[in-house]
Amino acid sequence: MYKFFLLDADMTLFDFDRAEKYAWFETMKIHSAVLPDDSMYDFYHDVNEGLWKKFEKGETTKDLLVLERHRRVFLRYGIDADPAVFNECYLDKLGDGSFPLPGALDFAETIRTIADERGGGIYIITNGVERIQTRRLAESAFAPLADEIFVSETAGYPKPDMRYFDYVFSKIDGFDPALAVIVGDSLTSDIQGGNNAGVFTIWYNPEKKPNDTSAVPDFEAADYDEIIGFFKEH
């Protein structure tokens, strides 16, 4: 039975879409003379998502990513602002975004109980900036439920890079990949990462999106109850 539960953070436990939108609008109000609207945010979101996917594939660096995403918005909308200064404010605002997804806290509490019964643990695995992700967790209701959070910035590599998972596994006492499971919403980082690491994966897919990637989830769930049901039998 599984005892090491590796849970993705954003869009698996946290509502990152809400946190990201909040942070971006708040930062725009401070650093831009241009009044932000939803169409501008949608453009930023698409640019940011595309750059993160490139980062996961090793096609860009995080240092370039965090500035380029804002630079492209400024260029498109004629905004006179410093991308580096803007990004620092944005990250601070993002750290305030500890918004759990509906039902996520009950889900995590149930996993905590299962992990304790089996002598295991819960670990948050996430790509992102260390100071932001750790702050978001620390200020959330998930903090007392997780044994540790592993952020890609500290590991030196992002999911799905096998070196990220090597780092994570080395930090968990008594870790056994055969007794571990990864739960995440991202096929390209969580599920592909699990495939690379030889760990059982559960694709959390509430929107029932098609799988148009090479990643192969071992189990697919449309809601938290399906995942809990699986764990009670495994």
The tens digit of pLDDT for each residue in 129-152 reads 898 899 999 989 999 999 999 999
The pLDDT confidence band at residue 101, using thresholds 50, 70 and 90, is very high
In which residue ranges of the chain is CATH 1.10.150.240 found? Answer: 16-94
- List, in sequence order, every residue forming a beta bridge with 121; answer none if it has no partner: 4
The tens digit of pLDDT for each residue in 164-221 reads 999 999 999 999 999 999 999 999 999 999 999 999 999 999 999 999 999 999 999 9
- Cβ–Cβ < 8 Å for 115, 3: yes
pLDDT of residue 57: 84
pLDDT of residue 6: 98
pLDDT of residue 12: 97
pLDDT of residue 96: 87
Residue 45 has pLDDT above 90, yes or no: yes
Residue 53 has pLDDT above 90, yes or no: no
As annotated, the active-site residues are 8, 10
In which residue ranges of the chain is CATH 3.40.50.1000 found? Answer: 4-15+100-233
Answer whether CATH 3.40.50.1000 is correct for domain 4-15+100-233.
yes
CATH of region 16-94:
1.10.150.240
More confident residue, 115 or 66: 115
pLDDT of residue 103: 98
